[in-house]
Structures are given as C-alpha cells and as structure tokens.
Amino acid sequence: MCAAGRRWGRRQRALLWAVLLAAWEAAWGQLRYSVPEEMPKGSFVGDVAKDVGLQLSELSDRSVRIVSKGRTQYFALHGKTGHLVTAERIDREQLCRLVEKCMLRCELIEEGEMKFYEIEVEITDVNDNAPSFREAEIELKMSEMTAPGSRFRLPDAHDPDSGRNSLQSYELSGDEHFSLAVQAGPGGDQRPELVLAKALDREEAAFHELVLRAMDGGDPSRTGTARIRVTVVDANDNAPVFSQAEYTVRVPEDVPVGSTLVTVKATDADEDLYGQVKYSLKKLSHMTLDLFRLDSETGEITLMRGLDFEEGDSYEMEVQAHDGGGLFDTTKVTISVTDVNDNLPEISIRSAISEISEDAPSGTVVALLDVQDRDSGANGEVRCSLDKDVPFRLQSSHGSYYSVVTSRELDREQVSEYNVTVRAADGGSPSLQSSAVLALRVLDVNDNAPVFAEERYSARLAENNAAGALVLTVRATDADWGQNARVRYRLREGRVRGAPLSSYVSVQAETGALYALRSLDYEQVRELRLWVLAEDGGAPALSSNVSVLLQIVDENDNAPQVLYPPAAAAGSGSGSGGAWWSGVELAPRWSEAGALVAKVVAVDADAGQNAWLSYELAKATEPGLFRVGLHSGEVRTARSPLARDAARQSLVVVVKDHGRPALSATATLSVVLAESVAELLAELGSAADEAAAPAEPAGSLTRWLVLAVAAVSCLFLAFLLLLLALRLRRWRRQQLLPPASGALRGVPVSHFVGIDGVRAFLQSYSHDVSLTADSRKSQLRFSASGSCCDTLPARPLPDEPAPLLGDQDPAGAIPVDPSPPSVDVESLFTLRFGAEPRPKPGPLERGHPAAAVARRRLRVSLLAAAERRWSLCRRRRRSVLPPQAARSPGAGHSGSGTASSSSSSESSGGNGERRRREATRAGSLRCL
C-alpha cells in the first residue's frame, strides 16, 4: 500500500512538471523538434505555422522568417506549407563532436507583429560512421622474456556516432599467443589491451600477425580493423616510468601559437638501447591532433594553432613513453583553456523597419535585436545602450533580445532621418564594445501650414502700366516634405469698383508671381487691397493667407482742366495738350493797380506734384496792363488803364502742372475797358458778334493768310471792274440826259437838285416810325402809296422805253405818299453794320444776368441811334426839296398812325407807279 502511494505521488509530480514545462514553453514561445542527421536539404522538421497558430496567407503578409543562432543557417521556413525544413545537410559529428545531446537553436521572427519564437531542434544520430583506428598497422615489440599475462595497451578505435551507434566492442584474431582484454576508462570508454597468453619464443617465431576489429551497435553494425605486428626481441627488464601519473595544465585562450604548454618526463633504468625513452601520443581526437604537437625526444607539447575557449575549454590526451626494448609507460595530459575577453558582443538585427510616421505614438517598436557574447562569465555579460539625444529607448524582451521603441513623439521637420546607434559592452576588463546602426527615415505628415516670408506685402505700381506687368512675388514655405510641402497660390475673391478682383490682378499658382491684368488708372483706383492664399498639397490641405497692398503711383497723364472761364463751343487743342477757352470780363477804365478783374479756375485730375498748378500770362494785348497770380490764377490790373489802351483786351493765361513732362492748358479772356455804360454796351455787342463768328483753327494760319491775299486780289479786281462799270454807266447817262440850260423840258429847274453830279427829282413823302424797347418789335414803315419823297427818279424796266423828262407834265409828277413803307430796325442794323442783327446767345451769354442787361442796353442804344439818323435824314430832305413839295399836305407828317398825301397825282400810269416805289426805296436807303 505504501509502495502504491509512493508511485501515485511520483506520477503526480511528473504530471505537474510536464504541465509546468508546457506552460513555460507556451509562455516563452518555445518549440521543440527533432530530426536525424544527414537528412537531405528541404527535409521536413516540423509544422511551425500550425504550432504557432499562423495561417498560410499570413506568412507573406507578416514577413515571417527563420533566423539561426550561429554562422550557418541550417533551417528554413517553407513559404507555401509553413513547415520548418532543413536548409542544408546536417552532420551531427561535425556540429556536436563533444556533446552528448546535439541541439540546434533558431528563432521564428514575425516582423509585422514584432514577435519571435524560440525553436530547438535535436539532431539525432544515425549510424553513418564506422569505427576507425588512427593507425591501420600497429608495430609492437616484445621481449621473449615477457611473462604470460602481460598486458600491452592497444590504440583505441574512434567512432563519431553517439549512443548505440558508437563503438561497442573489440575482437582480436590471428594467433593463439595473444588474447584481448577490454578495460573501462575513467569516462566509461573502452580501452583494448593485448594480453600475452603464451610465452614467446623468438626462435620459434620472430613475428606475430594479429587483426584487431572494433564494432559499433548500429543496425547494421559497422566495423573497423587494424593490423598488429608483434616483433619478438631480446629481454628488457625495465620499463620507462613517468614522473607524474597525470599532467594538468591551465593556459589562457590567447596563448601565442608555438608556445610550449607542458613537458612530460619519463625515465628508464635500463641502459643503452633499452634505456632510451621516446614519447608518442596514443589517444587524441582529430581536433587535438591539429592543435598540439609532441616532441618524441623531449616530451614537449607545443601549440600549433590558436585556442578558442568558445570552441573547446578542455583537451585530454595520453602520452606513451617506450624504451628501445618495447617497454612503455602511459600518462594522461589534461590541458584546460581559460576564457579571455577576446570576443566582441554581437548585435544581430532580427527585425527592423526603415520608415516610421512622425505621428507614431510613443512606445512604437522599430527594431528587434539579439545581443550575444561568446565569452563566458563576466566577459559574456552584455550591457546595451543608445545615444542620449535620440527619441528612442531600449526595452528588454526575453533573454538576449531587446526592442528599440520610441520614447516620445517624432517631428520630421526637426529631424527627418535618424541613425540610431545601439552599443553593446561586455563586463570584461578591459571591456569590449560593438555597435550597430539603425537607419530610420521619418515619414512626413501634413502637420505644418505654409508660412509666408513676410507678414504683409506691399508694392508700388505706376499707373498706365502694361497689361500683364509683374507687380511682386509672394513666397511661402512649408516645413513638410514632398506633396505636403508643395505650395500653390490663389487669390481670395473680392470686388473692386463692382468688378471681380480677378479681372484686375492674377497670381501664378506655382511661383506666387502677382501680375496686373489691365492697365490701372490712378484717378480711378488709388490702391488695391487683396489677400493671397497659400495652400499645400496635403490631405487634408492646410493653408494660410497674407495681405497684399498694391499702391497705384500717379503719373502726369492728365492736363489741367479750366473750369472758369467755361469752354467755348468751338475750342480746339493747344500744342501742350490743353484747350482754347474764351470768356468776356468787364473792367472800368478808372480801375486802380491791383484791382481784381477775373479769376482763372483750373483743376488737375492727377495727384501730388502732378496736380500742383501754376498760372502765367502768356499773351496780352497790352503786356504791362494785367498780371496773373502764380498760384491763385487771379487776373489783376498791373497799372491803371490809360486812354490809349484799347477797349478790348485779349489775355491768354497758361495753366501748367508740375509733372515731368509738364502738361498745360490755356484760357483766353476778353476784357472790355469802358468809361461809361454806353461804351461798355457797345463793346459788349461787338464782343458778342465776334464770339458768334466761327473760330479759325490756329493750326491753319498759313492757309488763311494765303486765302486772305487771294481775297484781297479778287476784291481789287472786282473794284476795277466796278469802277469801269460806273464809268460806262455815267457815260451812258450823259448820252441819255445831255446837259441843257439848267432845266428839263417841261419841268422847272427848281425841281432838280444835283447830287454827286446826278440830277434827281425830289418829292415829299410820309413815313411812320414805331419804336419799342425791344428791337425785335421796332419798325420803320414807309407809305404803301406812291406819295413818298423820292430822292432819285425811278428807273424804267429794261423792257420799257424810258420817257424823256421833257415830255412829262409837272403836274403829273409822282405823288408823294405821306406813309412810308415798313422797315425793320434789325434790317437797318444789318444794312448799317454788315453783320447778323442778333446772333444766338453763346454759352457765356445764356443765363448770365450781366449779359442779359448788356443785350437790353445794346438794343436801346441801337434804336436811339436809328431814330437820330432818321431825324437827320428828314432834316436834310427838307433842305433840298422845292417849296411846292415842302408845302404839300403830306410833307413832314410823321407819327404812330398812317398819313395820306393830298398832293398825289392820279394822272400817272403804271410806269409812274413803279418809278415811285423805286424812288421810295432809294430815298430810304440814302437816308439810312
């Protein structure tokens, strides 16, 4: 019962350990497999994808790979099946020649998930090696005096296999004098010994041939053989003896090649040939044979190549000393290698990313490292570190694995690339260090808006610019990279004077150049205020704007404009770009010096210096009579007017601005000087007539001069022709009316009066004169009857015969009509002055109170002058008429009504009536 309870307790403990082991392996992600050695490349080891729970489609997505610990990659991951397969043929004896259990370790790395799994693969032995002896033929010498039962050490066979496949037994065949004995060594190995079973007799047989076989336990079994040749010699009763039964030496792994590690010493009491001792190595591996060399004469063991504690820390060998008689002695030599800090820490980058976004959160894994040191003890203890000025830190994962993670947020605009140096230092003295560099590029995130080089922009542009002129260039930079840093410009919408802002200026999207799309006018737009928007190419895009002030600079492109005096209707341009102006101003002759006559008012649409105006008198009828204020434009008298000064003064005032080049305009003033109101009105009338006359272009002066000369020539020729015609007419009259005794036949001499050598028949006549204040309604009307005071006889029609005056009766003279015909005063004015009676009022006269008063006064003056002239004509007529005509009833009758003459004759015919009308008109014209 107690035994059963103990067995049940052991089972529980075994089960608990198994559960704990499975839990530990699952927690740490360890996988264990086994595979025989010498399997061909690509042989199946284990289903890794299934064991770690990976789907076949995730193998390529997560970048799963196998990394072996060591210089050689023995395993690989099949991409389609997820199986762990051999990467090359594995030889257990080469990998684990001194290890009982051969284990190979590798890691399964998931780069996408930053995970790893440890895999241990046990390499099981197969019977692929037969036992072998170092020497195929063994020479032994034995004295014939050797006693039966003596033992002789035979070379060991070597089988690299392990376990049952290793060396298991020896067999000896060939001679009855010898037998085989196998002894167990300290390490459990088998040591064959040759036992002398029967005394030797050199005389019977000087040589004995034996065959030694070594067999392993494989299935099928493999064997190795060695031939033993035993030579029987004379007697040698003393064998060599070593000074120590075992030699042990400790040497550092960095001992120089060629150094003597240990010297073995054996002595033989015999003399001569039997006392000479020689040394040889009996039991050593191939590695030992390559590392050490034994001097057969001196027994010195020297180093043939460098030691490596990591490859082997202890070496054992047997040294045999034998004399010339075949006797020998054996000793064991153990060489222990002490570790020296001669290996740098090894940093293996198992998984790493080369790019990381700048908005990655803190703690993001960027690399998985495996750090190892092949040294042992303190020399193999490794400490890892990073530079202090990088936003990363090391985090221990498991065993020798470390993770490099971010310690804070990244900013690509400050640092766009990192070369993270991982340093590993061991605990040796002196400490050895190694490093690995992780190149990490920070990917840009659109977290920076464009920034303009200036807070605000301003520019000055001269007006009248060409369309498409470059105004200025705005520039914005974006601290981001790539597409996020590509800046494009555009205008923010706005309106200027009701028009879209885009019709005035435009901005180049790529360069930020601002262009004027039209010619700008300072008088319309003084300045443009606009906003330029800079937008990057990120998603979503970030933008910023800046204000731009565009000031239009004035140019002198507007000539001064004269507001007063107002422009004449027929004004024309001056040579300086101005206009001719006209006006009439009044000034009394008794004005003193400095009296204000007029003021020229002008404006300039430009600004600044281009709008500063100055006035100067360019031309005057009397140069010293008037002066103009330089800046005020006031026209004042420079002195008092004199009697010799003309009544009408013409002044030309030039108005200039201060631009470069300067522009100007002219104003023409007509100033009337008068002492009385009548003279003033008369001059105003003359000025009105001249103002109504069409102005002549100043540019065609030469042409008009030529026309004037031609006109004068034509008038002179016409005068000559007229004079000739008059001469012919006088001669004809003299022929028709020859001079007599001073009187015509039948007519009294008193009825004729000589006027300019022409005799005219005078009769009395009547007339009516109607005068009003308005000249347009005033009239002078002659009598419609034939009774008028004709001063010239009526000429007969060309088709009628002119009767002789002597045949007519005096009583039948033409009667005089006391009522004269109606004559318009304005027509009389036309006949008197040879001009239009009343021109239409110009721009200056219309609506001007002074001009209206002047017109009314002019009309009254003209009416009065006409009345005085008519009275003078009547007086002259009375002085030349005969007494009979003076005493006629209608003579001298005048009034507002209509008068008829009583002395009109009824005996005159149709010809007499025509002659009377002609005489009436001639008399009226002569009076006027």
CA distance 323 to 238: 9
At residue 710, the pLDDT reads 87
Span 162-189, average pLDDT: 84
Report in angstroms the alpha-carbon separations of 85 from 40, 104, 563: 10, 13, 109
CA 863: distance to chain centroid?
A: 86
Query: Is 191 in contact with 200 (CB distance < 8 Å)?
Result: no
For 677-687, what is each residue's pLDDT tens digit?
677 677 666 66
DSSP, collapsed to helix, strand or coil, labels residue 534 as strand
At residue 352, φ and ψ (nearest 5 deg) are -160, 150
Asked whether the predicted pLDDT for residue 896 surpasses 60, the reply is no
CA distance 870 to 876: 10
Asked whether the predicted pLDDT for residue 456 surpasses 90, the reply is yes
CA distance 431 to 380: 10
At residue 895, the pLDDT reads 36
Asked whether the predicted pLDDT for residue 820 surpasses 60, the reply is no
At residue 586, the pLDDT reads 81
Asked whether the predicted pLDDT for residue 510 surpasses 50, the reply is yes
At residue 302, the pLDDT reads 93
Out of 258-272, 571-585, 872-886, the most confident range is 258-272
At residue 687, the pLDDT reads 60
Give 474's pLDDT tier (boundaries 50, 70, 90).
very high
At residue 892, the pLDDT reads 37
Lowest mean pLDDT, pick from 447-456, 533-542, 672-681: 672-681
Element (H, E) at 591: none
Q: Is 258 left (phi over 0), alpha (psi -120 to 50) or beta?
A: left
Residues 6+ apart with CB under 8 A from 771: 778, 863, 867
Q: How would you class 60 by CB atoms within 10 Å of its CB: exposed for 0-12, middle for 13-18, buried for 19 or more? A: exposed
Asked whether the predicted pLDDT for residue 594 surpasses 50, the reply is yes
Out of 121-125, 211-215, 780-784, 898-902, the most confident range is 211-215
Query: Is 435 in contact with 347 (CB distance < 8 Å)?
Result: yes
Q: How far apart are the first and last CA of the chain?
A: 184
For 178-205, what is each residue's pLDDT tens digit?
999 988 877 677 889 999 998 888 778 8
Burial 109-144 (b: 16+ CB within 10 A, else e): bbbeebbbbbbebebebebbbbbbbbeeebebbbbe
Lowest mean pLDDT, pick from 183-192, 473-482, 897-906: 897-906
**Which comes out higher in pLDDT, residue 424 or 844?**
424
Lowest mean pLDDT, pick from 44-53, 585-594, 742-751, 849-858: 742-751
Asked whether the predicted pLDDT for residue 411 surpasses 60, the reply is yes
CA distance 578 to 888: 69
Give 725's pLDDT tier (boundaries 50, 70, 90).
very high
Span 318-331, average pLDDT: 87
Span 584-593, average pLDDT: 84
Asked whether the predicted pLDDT for residue 784 surpasses 80, the reply is no
Asked whether the predicted pLDDT for residue 791 surpasses 50, the reply is no
Asked whether the predicted pLDDT for residue 887 surpasses 80, the reply is no
Out of 57-66, 518-527, 544-553, the most confident range is 544-553
Give 737's pLDDT tier (boundaries 50, 70, 90).
low
Burial 606-637 (b: 16+ CB within 10 A, else e): bbeebbebbbebeebebeebbbbeeeebbbbb
Q: Indicate the average pLDDT of the chain.
A: 76
CA distance 709 to 804: 47
pTM: 0.47
Question: Looking at the DSSP assignment, which residues form a beta bridge with residue 507?
Answer: 514
Asked whether the predicted pLDDT for residue 582 surpasses 60, the reply is no
